[in-house]
Homo-oligomer: A and B are copies of this chain.
Amino acid sequence: MARLVMKFGGTSVANIERIRNVARHVKREVDAGYQVAVVVSAMSGKTNELVGWAKEASALHDAREYDAVVASGEQVTSGLLAITLQSLGVDARSWQGWQIPISTDDAHGSARIQEVDGTALMARLDAGEVGVIAGFQGIHLPSGRITTLGRGGSDTSAVAIAAAIGAERCDIYTDVDGVYTTDPRVVPKAKRLDRIAFEEMLEMASLGAKVLQVRSVELAMVHQVRTFVRSSFEDPDAPHMGTVEAAGTLICDEEEIVANQMEAQVVTGIAFAKDEAQVSIRRVEDKPGIAASVFVPLADAHINVDMIVQNVSSDGRYTDITFTVPTADYERAKDVLTKAKAEIGFETVEGATDVTKVSVIGIGMRSHAGVAADAFKALAAKGINIRAITTSEIKISILIDAAYTELAVRTLHSLYGLDS
């Protein structure tokens, strides 16, 4: 019998009424013949309450104890959902991370899953019981201590469980009904994608589409877990809810997308990030090792660098280097570079915080020439100045003035035929 993982976040289990709604979603899939494992987050607000207490107890708290405290939130929800399922006549039991076990490393507070032993869980699923798994938590087996996976960890739990039990699909129920071609608040004509490739979703997620945590998408890609993003607030018994079509967005392998499309889409979506700042170093001496001399001090200061643009120097002696950093680290990044000025050797460091990175994403662009050129032409026609460009196989990122964000996103959305 096919297995299914269903994951529900904090707002979906915020109170008993909503937990009852979740239970109806689960019952629908059980009635449809699936063996179901459900992964739940803590009731919304509870994790913050627990974190608040831990901080009040001590600003410098032991991450192992922090984990013991905050993991309790998911424990509560798992038990409550199991009780609610039973009240609907669905056989169910709760599983804590240590009971499965979901073994992790000992990086408490942001542990990484090392192995999920699905044996015991599958035996109970085979016996017709729904497994309700506390998300976000695991166990460091050598020490026997409870670990947590960090923010968004329940998505990762769900994907890891799905991989361990060979689930047909991992359904992520959330407060949006899928992944859109871009932010619908910026482009009302944005449309929900039926399918998106793992690689594309990774770019969408890391570029600001907040639907899924990057690490859960990475895990899904590595283990080829078909992950379905859908809304938890719809009527659980609406006719379309039992189908993958028309109910959300399926994140899957490229081949499955190709197989389901008459003609491949070149561009899948337009993402944008407003929280990056541009730093430019002028007249850097163009010699071997110069990039390292710039970026090692920034890495040492734990500043994440995103876009990096270094052009070939025109005179063979000097070049300019431009990159982006989180806006919050902008001043610190300039300080770090100014202090290292003697070692690096440059004229000035300047930059801007009122910039936006707009990205065009699509696996189809691998086999299509001119995608980037089309973008540059369209932006130029609207009088939008391009500050910097970086590209990868499936992505073109363009840095522009923040004031032009909406105009640029709408222009590109139309350009690539994404408007509904």
User: In the complex the two chains form, is A58's CB within 8 Å of B83's CB?
Assistant: yes
Which residues from chain B contact A83 at a C-beta distance below 8 Å? Answer: 54, 57-58, 61-62, 65-66, 69
Q: Scan residues 51-102 of chain A and give those whose CB is less than 8 A from a CB of chain B.
A: 53-54, 56-58, 60-62, 64-69, 71-73, 75-76, 78-80, 82-84, 86-87, 93-94, 96, 98-99
User: In the complex the two chains form, is B68's CB within 8 Å of A79's CB?
Assistant: yes
- Nearest neighbor of A74 in chain B, beta-carbon distance: B72
Q: How far is the CA of A403 from the CA of B144 in the complex (A)?
A: 58
User: In the complex the two chains form, is B68's CB within 8 Å of A19's CB?
Assistant: no
* Copies of this protein chain in the complex: 2
User: In the complex the two chains form, is B79's CB within 8 Å of A60's CB?
Assistant: no
Q: Is A50 an interface residue (CB 8 A)?
A: yes
Q: Is A290 an interface residue (CB 8 A)?
A: no
Q: Scan residues 105-140 of chain A and give those whose CB is less than 8 A from a CB of chain B.
A: none
User: In the complex the two chains form, is B79's CB within 8 Å of A69's CB?
Assistant: yes
> How far, in Å, is A6 (CB) from chain B's closest CB?
18
> How far, in Å, is A50 (CB) from chain B's closest CB?
7
> How far, in Å, is A280 (CB) from chain B's closest CB?
45
- Provide the A8-22 mask, 1 if CB < 8 A to any CB of B, else 0: 000000001001100
> How far, in Å, is A114 (CB) from chain B's closest CB?
19
| A57-B16 contact in complex given A65-B83, A76-B50, A93-B65, C-beta closer than 8 Å | yes
Q: How far is the CA of A53 from the CA of B16 in the complex (A)?
A: 7
What residues of chain A have their CB less than 8 Å away from a CB belonging to chain B? 16, 19-20, 50, 53-54, 56-58, 60-62, 64-69, 71-73, 75-76, 78-80, 82-84, 86-87, 93-94, 96, 98-99, 144-146
